[in-house]
Structure 1
Amino acid sequence: MHAPATIDSAHYRRHIEANVVFRRFPSALGPRRHALWSERGGLPRAAILLPAGQATLSGGQDALELKGPALALISVQPQHFLRLAAGTPAQILAFSDLLLIDAIGKGAESVPLRYLAERRLVASSEHNPTQFDDLAHAFGAIERELTREDSASWRFLSAQLAVIMIQCWRLSGLEAVGQQSASTQGALLMRFRHMVELHFREHWRIARYAEALGLSHDRLHDICVRTLKRPPLDLVHDRLAHEACLQLIRSGLSIEQIAADLGFRNTTHFTRFFRIRTGSPPARYRSNIARQRSDRSEDTLRSFADWP
């Protein structure tokens, strides 16, 4: 969990408010337009729940038509507006990349969620009311948590966002498509990525990944190079370096603790690996980001879809 654990309640509440905002719009007699980007700058992600009625998301890419019941996941731009038709209620959950990363987590299920996170997606629950009820419950739970007299729980909020992401994945049909494509190279790469998520801290050799996938080392190498233009070891090392960057920026762990958590024999080994992947030793990387939060580093950390 990335939320501070030892700060005062007022600071903790400000931390929550800076990372998640919930807005509910009851149905009205006439059409309305609501900006998704707030005056204070806005949060980069939004989940829009439309229980019924019709709405249009305008700005950014082509206009997106929504017909309830539906859920939309988008990356928010300053020009985004949600236009609600008469009689249409809506709930908007805006959230930060920080909360999203915690919701996605580190297990095998994080792979499709990471894939989902970088794509504008609309999921209809017209033919599955039970899953829509689960979505509505998660939205309501977040709303109630944010209005508690005591400080809201970061872990509770990230868990409910995970439920929303998983249900959106299921409703979108992407889960079924992935299960039906077991013989394709894309599906093999997805399985490889699942295994990397589970075992990158254990520093598995590529031959072990290949064996677990029922492939030869050369076959796995060939699939990665022809599809992604990169060898499998490079992909595994990228995942390891990505996690190291996240922990250096967003955790209070020492470099020694991060090295141990990521499975390195010692800090020297970790430092050498990190310098090769990023061009900077861990301590300097952490201090540079803390001082200037460079655009390049932020873009790297926000990219969840580097694999298919």
Structure 2
Amino acid sequence: MDKSGERLHVSGRPHDLRRGVADPAAAPAIMAAAGTATISAELIGSHYVARRWMLGSMAARPFIHLLSLQGGGRAAVLSEGETLELHGPGLIWLPAGCAEHLEISAGTAAGLLRLRSGMWHRYLPPSAEAAYLALDGAGGIMALPVEPGLVTTVSRSIEAIAAEIAAPARSGAASIMSAELTLCVLRFWRLFAADRGPDEEGSSADILGRFRRLLEERYHQQLRVADYAKLLGMTPDRLHALCSRELQRSPSALIQQRVVREAATRLEAGTGTVKQIAFALGFKDTAYFSRFFRKHAGEAPGAWRRRLAARARSGRARPALNFADWP
């Protein structure tokens, strides 16, 4: 484990604990962010004392935790002053910031996977988008009893992730870690989806929240409404009806407005040419980008930038676009 949680007890002999911390620089094709590790994993061997992780610390709070608890094992989570007792075999999903601490009882074997919220999806392939959106947006602790074999399978994946993180220079380390993480997430998501029931799509706020997060990640890829609807697991008509009813705007308008807002921000910053900004936002034709921006902002990108500069020199307020991307 890295320093995002404090260990209050000795964890046992070195061969009882196998751990690793994902270094984004070690897998540039998958993750290219600096700072605190995005993923860490450890296989926790049975020990004669209980062990505790401080999940409420400043360093640990941004992380989601997936715990695979072996049969006969026990653990406890302290959340909002109440203690939730956990019994194996089971898989437990702890959303970021949901608990003060996690305690693994003496004699318990488990696997612990830690994922930095809002960033860990970069290790996943596009095919796992639905699982990421559902699980990253989960607001409460999920403890699901499962067959012992599934716990063993997930624990093996966690152990494999730890091993690859510990030796990032080995050939294929990033690809193997991505594959094992995807298997862990998809297996838990399948249980989570089944537990919710086939007819439960989630509340309107939940769906719109997932759409917003997805839009923030993909607005520069020129995806269609149908693409977003597919990633959200619904029909385009359903997404259109929901956005129109709750936000008084179509999903297409929301997508376009997000792109225009980003374009305006980049033009104001003045760090790139109009052509560079167009390409960064997924436009292959600068002329098309200029027409698109003029349609929504009332003037061409170059004229918008010049007017901003003139207003700044005269001390006047910057011009405002007549929309907000989200209420």
TM-score (norm. length: structure 1): 0.58
- Per-residue deviation, 1:84: 2.1
Q: Which runs of 5+ in 1 are unaligned?
A: 245-253, 285-305
Q: Which amino acid aligns with 1:86?
A: A
Corresponding residue for residue 124 of structure 1: 144
Question: Which residue matches 2:116?
Answer: 96
Alignment of 1:128-143 (within 5 A): 128-143=147-162
Match of 2:166 in 1: 147
8 Å contact 1:20–1:93 — kept in the other structure? yes
Q: Distance in 1 between matches of 2:79 and 2:235?
A: 43
Identity of aligned residues (%): 23
CA contact (8 A) 1:43 1:94 kept: no
Q: Which residue of 1 aligns with 2:95?
A: 75
> 2:62 maps to what in 1?
44
1:58 corresponds to which residue?
78
SS in 2 for 1:162: helix
Cα offsets for 1:105-145 (capped at 9, x unmatched): 434x413421211214424242x444333312211211221
| Residues 255, 142 of structure 1: alpha-carbon distance in 2 compared, 3 angstrom cutoff | farther
The structure with the largest helix share of the pair is 1
Separation in 1, partners of 2:242, 2:183: 33
Asked whether 1:168 is paired with 2:188, we answer yes
What is the deviation of 1:32?
3.4
Q: 1:185 to 1:34 in 2, by over 3 A?
A: closer
Contact 2:61 2:97 in 1 (8 A): no
Cα distance in 1 for partners of 2:260, 2:186 equals 26
Shift of 1:77: 3.8
Please report how far the alpha carbon of residue 100 of structure 1 lies from its aligned counterpart in structure 2 after TM superposition.
1.0
Change (3 A) 1:146 1:226: same
Aligned residue for 2:157, secondary structure, equals helix
The answer on whether the counterparts of 1:203 and 1:263 sit within 8 Å (CA) in structure 2 is no
- Equivalent positions of 1:239-254 (< 5 A) are none
Greater relative CO, 1 or 2 (CA 8 Å, sep 6+): 1
How large is the RMSD of aligned CA atoms in angstroms? 5.1
Q: Secondary structure at the match of 1:57?
A: strand
**Which protein has the larger Cα radius of gyration, Structure 1 or Structure 2?**
2
- Contact kept, 8 Å, 1:68 with 1:124, in 2: the verdict is no
Contact (CA 8 Å) 2:157, 2:180: kept in 1 or not?
yes
> Alpha-carbon deviation of 1:241?
8.2
The answer for the alignment partner of 1:21 in structure 2 is: 40
SS, match of residue 160 in structure 2: helix
Instruction: Report the Cα distance in structure 2 between the residues aligned to 1:70 and 1:241, rounded to whole angstroms.
Output: 46
Inter-partner Cα distance in structure 2 for 1:242 and 1:138:
41
| Secondary structure of 1:29's aligned partner | coil
Give the residue type in structure 2 aligned to 1:137: R
- SS of the counterpart of 2:126? coil
Q: Structure 1 stretch 74-83 or stretch 43-52: which is displaced more?
A: 74-83
Question: Any idea what the Cα deviations from partners look like across 1:136-178, whole Å, max 9, x if unmatched?
Answer: 2211211221333836834433332222111111122x24746
**Structure 2, unpaired ranges of 5+:** 1-22, 264-272, 306-325
Aligned to 2:321: none
- Cα drift, residue 93 of structure 1: 2.0
Count residues with an aligned counterpart.
249
Asked whether the equivalents of residues 100 and 158 of structure 1 are also in contact (C-alpha less than 8 Å), the reply is no
Q: Distance in 2 between matches of 1:33 and 1:169?
A: 26
